[in-house]
Amino acid sequence: SGGQYGDAPQLPVTVALREGNAQVATSVKELLAVRSPEDLDIIDATFAGSLGVDGGIVNARGELKGGTLVTQATASGIQLNPLVPQLPVTVALRQGNAKVATSVKELLAVRTPEDLGNIDATFAGLLGVDGGRVAAAGELKDGTLVTQATASGIQLNPLVPQLPVTVALREGNAKVATSVKELLAVRTPEDLGKIDVTFAGLLGVDGGRVAATGELKSGVLVTQATASGIQLNPLVPQLPVTVALREGNAQVATSVKELLAVRKPEDLGNIDATFAGLLGVDGGRVTAAGELKGGTLVTQATASGIQLNPLVPQLPVTVALREGNAQVATSVKELLAVRKPEDLGKIDVTFAGLLGVDGGRVTATGELKDGTLVTQATASGIQLNPLVPQLPVMVALQEGNAQVATSVKELLAIRTPEDLGNIDVGKIDVTFAGLLGVDGGKVDAAGELKGGTLVTQASAADIQLNNLLPLPVPLALQGGNLELSGAVNQLLAFNQQRNLSSFEAKFAGQVAGADGTARVRGKLDSGQWQTNIAAANINTLEVIYQLGLEPEALFASFEPEQLTLNAKLDLAGALQPLLQPNPTAAVQANQLVVQLGEQFLDARGKVLLSNLATNPEIANLDLKIAKLAYDAGALPLSRLVTTVVAEQELLNAEFLPREIQIAGTGTFQGNLKGTNLISAPLTPGNLNLVGELELRNFAVNELAFDPLMEGKVQVQTGKRVAVNLRGTTDVMAASLVPCTSSRCQFPYLPTALEFRQGVGENAIAAVGKRRGEVFALSIQQFPLSILNIAPAVQVGISSPVAGEVTGNVDVNLFTLATVGNLDIQKPGIGYLQAESFSGGFSYRDGIAQLTEASLALGKSLYNLEAGIDLNTGNLNGKIAIARGYVQDLLQTVGWFDIQDLARGIKEPEGKAADVQPIESVGSPNASLAQQLQLLAKIERQLQLLAAKAREPGIPSQLDIQGGYTGEITLAGNLAQPQINFNLQGNDWLWRTQPDYSRLEELQVIEVGNWELGIGNWELGIGNWELGMENGELGMENGELGMENGELGMENGEWRIGNWELGMENGEWRIGNWELGIGNWELGMENGELGIGNWEWRIGNGEQQITNDQQPTTNNQQPITNNQQPITNNQQPITNNQQPTTNNQ
């Protein structure tokens, strides 16, 4: 006992005989012949013992007889790794038994485990394999091992370390048949190909399971497996989404060498397999079946509910495969080489499917072969704005179809619409047709993209163009069609290159806007565009409103039909300038026919428009005007001219024409050339208008000219402005030239003027000519009424000035110094009419003078001289009354009765049309007796009226006659003028009542308790207060009494004496009288009018009125007005055949 065999060099582990016994039977000769363990075969023996084998135990018994050893053994706790060091995991024989039969020679010939093939044995045992267990039984005979084993709980990753996921043999069984030599020759899993095996087992694969059965024979593995719950992403990490094998089955046939050569998924190409399974793909599902043979995979699959955005992240909208099917043929190497969508070009596929695209749908079928994709698709309900976000309006593909042929590489290189410019579109062929919904309208298009050329036809209707283009007025495309072809690369690179030279197009359509329509036809060819436009019933007033202008005042008198535009245009030009960021348009107007109401233009020529995107400018214009016609009756030219004149700021409105009535028609023919006509039309050389003008039945206000006026018109800025129109007798001609001197008051100066209208004694003429610095103008019988100026509207006279002017005026064009003389026949303002006015006038250095002037008013004659220094405001003037008659004044202002005083100088309100004929009485067919009775009745009524008139009463009429002379002088300045009066009158007569032929008695009437209203003005004179309120004039504390009195002023005091006042036959008579007012200062301060430094005394100094700069105001309140009538100590003035007395 206790013998060690560890020194035996062939044993791979330490072996010790712990205890044992033996019975040996042999001859001494044979025993002594033993030289080595091999010689023991000549000895017979029986034995039993216990061996210690490297920590384990082997109990054995047996018999050696005739050189043959037969033994039975049981073993436990033996580590097999030292015995078989190539085992990749820890393996231990937990317990086992074996029966061995062999010759001592063969037994002792065992040097390595491979030599065990010479031993016959049967065995059974339980192995511990790296935490799992294997129960095995078998037989070793003639070097062949046959064994059956069951296993469970074995981790396969240590055995096959290249496995990408955790794999464990949960349970399984196998039958192995092999030679000991081949079995012990196994150094790596690849060496298992020399072993024949049948097996069945259940694998746990990274949370899933695989149930497999199969056979390994002659190095070929045939297996069938079912699997479920396996996550494929760890097996194929390049998958972009989560993929799991929910359930599936497969049959695999391959050599063990090829199977075990699998290090990565790409190596599966060496395996033949058939399979079917259900995959869960990121919330969707794929059902697939197929075959892998010779490295080629052929599979059919159906899919549904798969979100494609994780697979193709550059998709701009949500896309899902609702349902679809595909057949794929490819090599496993190419399939597993797919790292990104672009790599799909190496796979052959036929497919059909239904995609959900952001609320719409796409049905597609197609084929992918040799990297080329050919597909047909129909689509509906797809919003295009998310796909092309730069679209300015909502656009949806309502329905459409397309056929696309392209390489997968080019197709998948498109991540955004902009990427179309970076690919070779020549490799993409497309045919398409579809119906687009565009912002409430529709576009129906069809076309083809082939070899990089796009050919398309489209029709559109009900498109609001303002939402697509920055148009100034609302326009809608009612209907239209387009044919377009060109290189699509130019279209895609437009933002960078601004070039569409390859494109050709034809278009036609109808546009609606501003209450009208326009038919448009045109074409684009070789970079040149041409269009024909026929516009009808365009409301130009609506266009003006939309442009943000303010035409209300200017166009208030226009009727809608006067502003209706019709036009025919034939325009052409180059496309390239229009495509630039700040475009220009060189337009060739082959036809330009425009009709605005009754106005008409027919022209042709060239127009260059520049800076259309920033500051639009008519950079150049060259038009030949065949006809420009206007009708003043159809076009409110009068309103236009009146408005323009009213907007000038040099004169107050009351000195401007209220309205300028223009009548007639005109026609112009000529040429219009211009440069920068928007920004600088009047710059020298920028405007050149030359042509012939005809005016027919032309009239201004009441001035009518010859039926035909014709001649030349020339407007050349910086050179000459001239018009020369002539009729049979009438002439309108004027010319101006630019002023180039530094002393210029105006940009243009007149050189000549000729204006003639009419013949004979009613002829009107104005002729002027420049002589050096002076322009001399001669006027003959020019009617002021045609000016239609009403300067006295504010004081109640609405009628215009009147009169015929004849005279001469010389004006210095550089200093404005003026000298001249005028004669005006029948001058007047409204109803205020005079016989004549004449005089000389001058202006120089701010001083204006009127000299030797006279005004004839009826039989009265006033001589005038005046002057004003506009620099200082100083005044001087004198009115010498050569002869004056009060009746001329009263008749001029229309004061015929007392009530007229309340009107002041306002125009009388009555009109001739208001006069009604006296109603007739009686009948011409009555008898003579009846007519005589009626005549007697009328006579009695007249006598009653006459008797009533003879009764004393308030005067009713202002029939005053009498003459006066004298002088009025003006001095001071504009702020404080001074006026002096010196008047003498004689033989005044006042008829207070209408004449009655039967009135005989004389009577002095009482004057009292009557009121006079004269506008809103006030006058306060000392203790005699005269005030106005509510249209009534009242006097208080003033007395008038006279006998043989005179009225005059001397040394600043009023004097009354030798003034005869009496009434006879209903008439007041005032004898010779004088009135003098000296040093009367009239000034204005703080809005008040003051009169100072004068005195008025009546009688014996009892009544005295003084004033020293007491203001007279017009602030709507009179100084005093107690509604007291004019009285004389409350006593009426009476006659009763007695002379008038003065109680003072």
pLDDT, greater one: 338 or 369: 369
What pLDDT band is residue 1026 in, cutting at 50, 70 and 90? Answer: very low
Q: Is the pLDDT of residue 949 over 60?
A: yes
pLDDT, greater one: 932 or 188: 932
Three-class DSSP category at 346: helix
Three-class DSSP category at 178: strand
pLDDT, greater one: 1051 or 952: 952
Q: Which two structure tokens, joined as six digits, stand for 805?
A: 């002017």
Question: Which helix or strand (DSSP H or E) is residue 848 part of?
Answer: strand 847-857
- The pairing of strands 319-331 and 296-307 is antiparallel
Instruction: Confirm if 16 and 1 have CB atoms less than 8 A apart.
Output: no
Instruction: Confirm if 568 and 538 have CB atoms less than 8 A apart.
Output: no
Q: Is the pLDDT of residue 1111 over 60?
A: no
Distance of CA 570 to the CA centre of its chain: 29
Q: Is the pLDDT of residue 881 over 60?
A: yes
In the predicted model, what is the mean pLDDT of residues 919-941? 82
Give the pLDDT score at 1021: 33
Give the pLDDT score at 1101: 31
In the predicted model, what is the mean pLDDT of residues 487-510? 87
Q: Is the dihedral of CA 229, 233, 234, 236 positive or negative?
A: positive
Q: How far apart are CA 689 and CA 673, in angstroms?
A: 6
pLDDT, greater one: 163 or 808: 808
What pLDDT band is residue 1120 in, cutting at 50, 70 and 90? Answer: very low
Instruction: Confirm if 1 and 18 have CB atoms less than 8 A apart.
Output: yes
Q: How far apart are CA 114 and CA 211, in angstroms?
A: 34
Q: Is the pLDDT of residue 746 over 70?
A: yes
Residue in the structure block whose two tokens are 């009388």: 908
Burial of residue 297 (number of CB atoms within 10 Å: 0-12, 13-18, 19+): buried
Give the pLDDT score at 995: 64
pLDDT in tens, 1029-1086: 443 333 333 333 333 444 444 443 444 444 444 555 545 555 555 655 554 444 444 4
Q: Is the pLDDT of residue 381 over 90?
A: yes
Q: How far apart are CA 450 and CA 458, in angstroms?
A: 18
Name residue 324's beta-bridge partners: 303, 353
What pLDDT band is residue 619 in, cutting at 50, 70 and 90? Answer: very high
Name residue 167's beta-bridge partners: 205
Give the pLDDT score at 845: 92
Instruction: Confirm if 1071 and 1117 have CB atoms less than 8 A apart.
Output: no
In the predicted model, what is the mean pLDDT of residues 520-539? 95
Instruction: Confirm if 695 and 666 have CB atoms less than 8 A apart.
Output: yes
pLDDT in tens, 55-111: 899 999 999 888 888 999 999 999 988 888 888 889 999 999 999 988 877 877 777
What pLDDT band is residue 1117 in, cutting at 50, 70 and 90? Answer: very low
Q: How far apart are CA 989 and CA 660, in angstroms?
A: 46
What pLDDT band is residue 574 in, cutting at 50, 70 and 90? Answer: very high
In the predicted model, what is the mean pLDDT of residues 928-950? 81
What pLDDT band is residue 1007 in, cutting at 50, 70 and 90? Answer: very low
Residue in the structure block whose two tokens are 């610095």: 773
Q: What is the mean pLDDT of the chain?
A: 80
Give the pLDDT score at 159: 83
User: Of the ranges 324-333, 558-567, 866-875, which one carries the lowest mean pLDDT score?
Assistant: 558-567
Q: Is the pLDDT of residue 343 over 80?
A: no
Measured CA to CA in angstroms, residue 473 lies from 441, 539, 541, 567, 923 at distances of 19, 11, 12, 17, 74
Q: Is the pLDDT of residue 554 over 50?
A: yes
Give the pLDDT score at 225: 95
Instruction: Confirm if 708 and 718 have CB atoms less than 8 A apart.
Output: no
Q: How many CB atoms lie within 10 A of CB 438?
A: 22
pLDDT, greater one: 299 or 190: 299
DSSP 583-639: --EEEEEEEEEEEETTEEEEEEEEEEEE-TTSS-EEEEEEEEEEEEEEETTTTTHHH
What pLDDT band is residue 161 in, cutting at 50, 70 and 90? Answer: confident
Q: How far apart are CA 111 and CA 11, in angstroms?
A: 7
Three-class DSSP category at 119: coil
Distance of CA 26 to the CA centre of its chain: 126
Q: Is the pLDDT of residue 380 over 50?
A: yes
Give the pLDDT score at 1076: 57
User: Of the ranges 53-67, 786-800, 1110-1124, which one carries the lowest mean pLDDT score?
Assistant: 1110-1124
User: Of the ranges 279-283, 573-577, 773-777, 917-921, which one carries the lowest mean pLDDT score?
Assistant: 917-921
User: Of the ranges 589-593, 641-645, 978-982, which one carries the lowest mean pLDDT score?
Assistant: 641-645
Q: Which amino acid is at 776?
A: A
Record the pTM.
Answer: 0.64
Q: Is the pLDDT of residue 298 over 50?
A: yes
Give the pLDDT score at 26: 86
Question: Which helix or strand (DSSP H or E) is residue 960 part of?
Answer: strand 959-972
Residues 6+ apart with CB under 8 A from 898: 954, 955, 956, 957, 958, 1010, 1012
User: Of the ranges 106-110, 277-281, 359-363, 848-852, which one carries the lowest mean pLDDT score?
Assistant: 106-110
User: Of the ranges 56-70, 261-275, 291-305, 387-401, which one carries the lowest mean pLDDT score?
Assistant: 261-275
Share of the chain above pLDDT 90, in %: 42
In the predicted model, what is the mean pLDDT of residues 1125-1141? 35
Domain extents for the chain? 1-112, 514-711, 895-907+953-1112
In the predicted model, what is the mean pLDDT of residues 369-378? 90
Instruction: Confirm if 855 and 823 have CB atoms less than 8 A apart.
Output: no
Closest listed residue to residue 316, CA positions, set 211, 396, 177, 417: 417
Q: Is the pLDDT of residue 495 over 60?
A: yes
pLDDT in tens, 215-244: 988 888 899 999 999 998 888 888 888 999
In the predicted model, what is the mean pLDDT of residues 712-734? 94
Q: Is the pLDDT of residue 1023 over 60?
A: no
In the predicted model, what is the mean pLDDT of residues 685-707? 92
Q: Is the pLDDT of residue 1090 over 50?
A: no
Three-class DSSP category at 1031: coil
CA 1084-1089-1090 angle, to 5 degrees, is: 95
User: Of the ranges 258-267, 782-791, 998-1007, which one carries the lowest mean pLDDT score?
Assistant: 998-1007
Closest listed residue to residue 279, CA positions, set 241, 317, 312, 314: 241
Give the pLDDT score at 85: 83
Give the pLDDT score at 1089: 40
